Chain A
Amino acid sequence: MSKTITIDPVTRIEGHSKITIHLDDKGKVEEARFHVTQFRGFEKFTEGRPFYEMPAITARICGICPISHMLASAKAGDELLAVRIPPAAERLRRVLHMGQTVQSHALSFFHLSSPDLLLGMDADPVERHILGLAARHPDLARDGVWLRMYGQQIIEHLAGKRIHPAWAVPGGVSRPLSSESRDQILEQTPRAFDIAQRALDLFLSVIEKFEPEIETFANFPTLFFSQVTRNGELELYDGPLRITDAKRKIVADHIDPSSYDEHIGEASVPWSYLKAPFYRPMGYPDGIYRVGPLARLNNADRCGTPRADAALEAFRALAKGAVLSSFYYHHARLIEILYALEQIEALLKHPDILSPRVRAAAEPNRTDGVGVAEAPRGTLIHHYRINDDGQITWANLIVATGHNNLAMNRGITQAAKKFVKGSSLKEGALNRVEAVIRCYDPCLSCSTHALGQMALRVQLMDREGHVLDEQKRV
């Protein structure tokens, strides 16, 4: 009799979801599905709102990366105004975005994933979280908390508060940077570099213990999708889009972000509120691609900053073509922290950074605007249409976790086939299936949740939906 194992909710990710593992008649894993069980509706209820409000409205999509939404939205607003924002405003937005990248990557690595990496996939779930980590590796836990604080403080210095600030606006930013804030951020940056480097060294020292996970954590060929600079370097704020294949060959390059919909299609699946984007020329579901740190490093020719480029060498050595195992998202994330810190330092030392000219004023001059930025988890697309009065008539948002939807489903199927045997519900096996999802650091368009407070429910069900077995952990 075929059965279904349900992991509900998935823990240590941002948002609400569950995983179902479907067993065939012989008790072998046939397929695993990642269900996003929350519904938001931002694209619909923003209709009629003045577009100037969109950065603040869409920032509320998420408590982890509100900055990315605010910036993608403000960039779509720049397009609607048809202005080029002042250079200081662009630099300030970039600093803000790098602060966001550092804090979000630090949260993903230290708070959410390092308990798996350092305490082990099979460790007791009662201890396998940030507090358990703090008991066993207090210095590392302290580093994680400090690095996240550093990123959050950058956001506060620039935008006024750490979560959900309203600072980036169509045409630029609402306030310039003070010299005191700049000096305070620069003063703390050396410590941030030390922590980032230590975390990278630590990751490289433990990675050989995870060979089975590396082999089976969404380790398969896909396309990779991200922004790059015009000369092919790593880019997180603004640039043309690039698509490469599993051999790191360029499939499409120099794509104007405003023409994203010529390349990306969106499919809906009946079992999830998360749409499943695909690469149009290859169709659904063959046009599977990944976004985020792994995709960005596979896509970029180089980082363009010395410390990140030095760290990139070890990453490049992992594979002849593209690095395919999603386990290496962690590795890529740590390299990106170094890159972000180098960017912060360089941008803040620019002589123009304190300029009071930070906003271009204009009335709407276009009725269609696309804003694209590389959020910590991958490419984020905001696309708005407005009427002549500047009110939203249509909105489309494609978030990073959406891009990765097809790859996450294939990834958990791969891991479930390897680690889930028959109908036995082993804790470590289920944690590995969850950990595949955690590699992508999915942000299910949600606010933060208290860690360790979400119960995990695992159900074993037959085809008719009768519960055959159940396990709970708190």
Chain B
Amino acid sequence: MKESIKLTINEQALTAKPGQTILDVAWANDIDIPRLCYLKGLSGVGACRLCMVEVRGVPRLLAACVARVTDGMEVITDSPKLKSYRKMVLELLLAERNHICAFCVASGNCELQDLAQSLGVTHVRYPYRFPNFKVDASHDRFVHDPNRCVLCTRCLRTCEEIEGARTWNVRGRGIHSVMITDLNQPWGESPTCTTCGKCVQACPTGALVEKGRATGEMTRTGNLLPKLTSMRESGR
């Protein structure tokens, strides 16, 4: 296997290691690619489709968080086409659940809100679905509101890969998917949850929040999980 790979991102000549994803390389070279389901330190799943990039010679768009770099790859991370698709993805996410910033506890500390603002989503062109999921406030310290979930599965991966508890799961398919704790039990009755709160830190929206927080009060320590992971890896 070659020791280094040569590629270009936005016509900038770069060198990468085999096995790195396009997002890893972009990140290392201060090239910003919008992302929502990706969280440094967790495995990539390519769920949100916001990090899609164009690769010359490839007829479809690739998710930068899971696509590995190859020698001679020419990547474009920003174009009118990508902008339009990313806006569309965000609009679909916003239409799918009840993302009402006006009284959301995560307003001002929400990655979905930040992305919508930075990508200029001023309107949603799709009809809102207005689901009516039951809020689970049975846990002593945390609240799960599936109405604000984007199904990024960061909570699931955090619980499985960092905490090792595997409390979170996905129930249902497609648009009917919903995050559940254990075998769809109330969170407060979960036999596996350690109450560590890392899933709440990992959540990009107001779907998982600390109990008792009022509107706009849910703050997160943004780099806690990447730090945890790197500390563990360096200790190995």
Main secondary structure of the interface of A (DSSP, over half): loop
Stretch at the interface among A26-34, A55-63, A229-237: A55-63
Q: How large is the interface on B (under 10, 10 to 19, 20 to 34, 35 or more residues)?
A: 10 to 19
In the complex, chain A residues 40-58 whose Cβ is within 8 Å of any chain B Cβ: 48-50, 52-53, 55-57
Which B residues are in CB contact (< 8 Å) with A52? 105, 212-214
Partner pick for A50 among B134, B135, B188, B216, CB 8 A cutoff: B135
A169 to B102, CA, bound (A): 15
Interface membership of B6, Cβ < 8 A: no
Interface membership of B217, Cβ < 8 A: yes
Which B residues are in CB contact (< 8 Å) with A166? 103, 107, 214-216
**A53 pairs with B214, CB closer than 8 A:** yes
Partner pick for B138 among A55, A174, A361, A389, CB 8 A cutoff: A389
Interface membership of A15, Cβ < 8 A: no
In the complex, chain A residues 50-92 whose Cβ is within 8 Å of any chain B Cβ: 50, 52-53, 55-57, 60
Per-residue CB contact flags for chain A residues 361-375 toward chain B (1 = under 8 Å, else 0) read: 101000000000000
Between B211, B213, B214, B217, the greatest number of chain A beta carbons within 10 A of the residue's beta carbon is seen for: B214
Main secondary structure of the interface of B (DSSP, over half): loop
Between A56, A174, A363, A391, the greatest number of chain B beta carbons within 10 A of the residue's beta carbon is seen for: A56
In the complex, chain A residues 169-224 whose Cβ is within 8 Å of any chain B Cβ: 169-170, 174
A55 to B217, CA, bound (A): 13
Interface membership of A151, Cβ < 8 A: no
Interface membership of B63, Cβ < 8 A: no
Interface membership of A390, Cβ < 8 A: yes
Which A residues are in CB contact (< 8 Å) with B143? 50
Report the minimum CB–CB distance from B125 to chain A (whole Å): 24
Q: Which residue of the partner chain A has the closest CB to B188?
A: A389
A49 to B148, CA, bound (A): 12
Interface membership of B95, Cβ < 8 A: no
**A390 pairs with B211, CB closer than 8 A:** yes
Which A residues are in CB contact (< 8 Å) with B103? 53, 56-57, 60, 166
Interface membership of B67, Cβ < 8 A: no
A169 to B138, CA, bound (A): 21
**B211 pairs with A56, CB closer than 8 A:** no
Partner pick for B214 among A164, A170, A389, A391, CB 8 A cutoff: A170
Between A48, A52, A174, A363, the greatest number of chain B beta carbons within 10 A of the residue's beta carbon is seen for: A52
A56 to B217, CA, bound (A): 12
Partner pick for A391 among B105, B137, B216, CB 8 A cutoff: B137
Report the minimum CB–CB distance from A336 to chain B (whole Å): 29
Per-residue CB contact flags for chain B residues 203-236 toward chain A (1 = under 8 Å, else 0) read: 0000000011111110000000000000000000
Which B residues are in CB contact (< 8 Å) with A390? 137, 211
Which B residues are in CB contact (< 8 Å) with A48? 134-135
**B135 pairs with A391, CB closer than 8 A:** yes
Which B residues are in CB contact (< 8 Å) with A53? 103, 105, 214-215
A53 to B215, CA, bound (A): 6
In the complex, chain B residues 47-105 whose Cβ is within 8 Å of any chain A Cβ: 102-103, 105
In the complex, chain A residues 361-408 whose Cβ is within 8 Å of any chain B Cβ: 361, 363, 389-391
Per-residue CB contact flags for chain A residues 406-441 toward chain B (1 = under 8 Å, else 0) read: 000000000000000000000000000000000000
Known A50-B143, A164-B102, A166-B103; judge A56-B135 contact (CB<8 A): no
Which B residues are in CB contact (< 8 Å) with A174? 214, 217
Partner pick for B212 among A55, A57, A361, A391, CB 8 A cutoff: A361
A69 to B228, CA, bound (A): 43
Which A residues are in CB contact (< 8 Å) with B107? 166
Q: Which residue of the partner chain B has the closest CB to A386?
A: B137
Which B residues are in CB contact (< 8 Å) with A57? 102-103
**B102 pairs with A60, CB closer than 8 A:** yes
**A55 pairs with B215, CB closer than 8 A:** yes
Q: How large is the interface on A (under 10, 10 to 19, 20 to 34, 35 or more residues)?
A: 10 to 19
Between A49, A174, A361, A389, the greatest number of chain B beta carbons within 10 A of the residue's beta carbon is seen for: A389
Report the minimum CB–CB distance from A391 to chain B (whole Å): 5
A170 to B134, CA, bound (A): 23
**A169 pairs with B137, CB closer than 8 A:** no
Per-residue CB contact flags for chain A residues 152-167 toward chain B (1 = under 8 Å, else 0) read: 0000000000001010
A338 to B164, CA, bound (A): 63
Partner pick for B137 among A55, A170, A389, CB 8 A cutoff: A389
Which B residues are in CB contact (< 8 Å) with A164? 102
A56 to B206, CA, bound (A): 15
Per-residue CB contact flags for chain B residues 144-168 toward chain A (1 = under 8 Å, else 0) read: 0000000000000000000000000
Which B residues are in CB contact (< 8 Å) with A56? 102-103, 214-216
Report the minimum CB–CB distance from A277 to chain B (whole Å): 27
A248 to B107, CA, bound (A): 48
Q: Which residue of the partner chain A has the closest CB to B108?
A: A166
A238 to B13, CA, bound (A): 68
Q: Which residue of the partner chain A has the closest CB to B103?
A: A56
Report the minimum CB–CB distance from B142 to chain A (whole Å): 11
Which A residues are in CB contact (< 8 Å) with B102? 56-57, 60, 164
Q: Which residue of the partner chain B has the closest CB to A77?
A: B214
A166 to B206, CA, bound (A): 16
A164 to B103, CA, bound (A): 10
Report the minimum CB–CB distance from B138 to chain A (whole Å): 5
Between A48, A164, A166, A391, the greatest number of chain B beta carbons within 10 A of the residue's beta carbon is seen for: A166
A164 to B107, CA, bound (A): 13
Which B residues are in CB contact (< 8 Å) with A170? 214
Report the minimum CB–CB distance from A82 to chain B (whole Å): 14
A166 to B134, CA, bound (A): 24
Q: Which residue of the partner chain A has the closest CB to B107?
A: A166
Which B residues are in CB contact (< 8 Å) with A50? 135, 137, 143, 211
The 3 closest A-B pairs by CB, nearest first: A56-B215, A166-B215, A56-B103
Contacts from A to B (Cβ < 8 Å) = 48-50, 52-53, 55-57, 60, 164, 166, 169-170, 174, 361, 363, 389-391
Known: A48-B134, A55-B214, A363-B212. 9 other contacts (CB 8 A): A50-B137, A50-B211, A53-B105, A53-B214, A56-B214, A56-B215, A56-B216, A57-B103, A166-B103
| 20 residue pairs A–B, Cβ–Cβ below 8 Å | A48-B134, A48-B135, A50-B135, A50-B143, A50-B211, A52-B105, A52-B212, A53-B105, A53-B215, A56-B102, A56-B216, A57-B103, A60-B102, A164-B102, A166-B216, A170-B214, A174-B217, A389-B137, A390-B137, A390-B211
